[in-house]
Amino acid sequence: MPTLRETILTALHARLSVLPASALRGEVLPERVPTEGLLILRDGEPGDPEVTLSPLRYHYQHRAEIEAVVQVADRDAAFDTLCASIGTALAADRTLGGLCDWIEAEAPRSVDLAVEGAASLKAAVIAVVLHYSTADPLS
C-alpha cells in the first residue's frame, strides 16, 4: 500500500497530466521539448515536521518542485500561459481530493537557456508546498 506522501505526489502528477503540456515525474530533461511545453514533477523534501501528541501526528509542509520548460518562438507568452495553467489546475482543488490540508504554489524562478542550433529554452522551478498530516513519518 502506498504511503500518504506517495499518494499525494501521484495525485499532484495526475492533476498536472491533464494540462496540454507533457507531464513527467522524476525524469531527466528529454532532448526535445514538446511544442505545448514540458512539466517535470520532482518529489522534493518533506522537511522537518511539527509534531503534536495525543493523538500523535506529524504535520508536514512538503516542498515538491515542478520544472516548467518551453521551447518555442514566442517563449515568453508560452511560458506565461504554462505557468498560469499550473496555477489554475492547483486552484481547482487545493486539497487534492482531501489528501492534503492545503496546496499552494510559489512564484516561478525563471531562467533563459541558450541551446546551440535550436530555439532557446525558457524554464523555471515552481515550488509547490503540500500541507498534510500523518500518524507515522514512514507511512
Mean pLDDT along residues 82-102: 97
Is the preceding peptide bond at 34 cis, omega within 30 degrees of 0?
A: no
Average pLDDT, the chain: 94
At residue 105, the pLDDT reads 97
End-to-end CA gap in the chain: 9
Q: Please state, for a pLDDT cut of 90, what percent of the chain lies above it.
A: 83
Local confidence band at 31 (pLDDT 50, 70, 90 cut-offs): confident
At residue 38, the pLDDT reads 97
At residue 82, the pLDDT reads 96
Local confidence band at 68 (pLDDT 50, 70, 90 cut-offs): very high
Indicate the pTM of the whole model: 0.93
How many Å apart are CA 139 and CA 32, to the nearest integer?
37
Mean pLDDT along residues 70-80: 92
Judged against a pLDDT cut of 90, whether residue 92 lies above it is answered with yes
Dump pLDDT digits (tens) for 98-128: 999 999 999 998 888 877 777 789 999 999 9
Spell out the alpha helix ranges (H) of 18-133.
75-91
Contacts of 37 (CB under 8 A, 6+ apart): 20, 21, 22, 68, 69, 70, 78, 79, 82
Q: Which domains are assigned to the chain? A: 4-134 (3.30.2000.10)
Mean pLDDT along residues 27-43: 93
At residue 114, the pLDDT reads 77
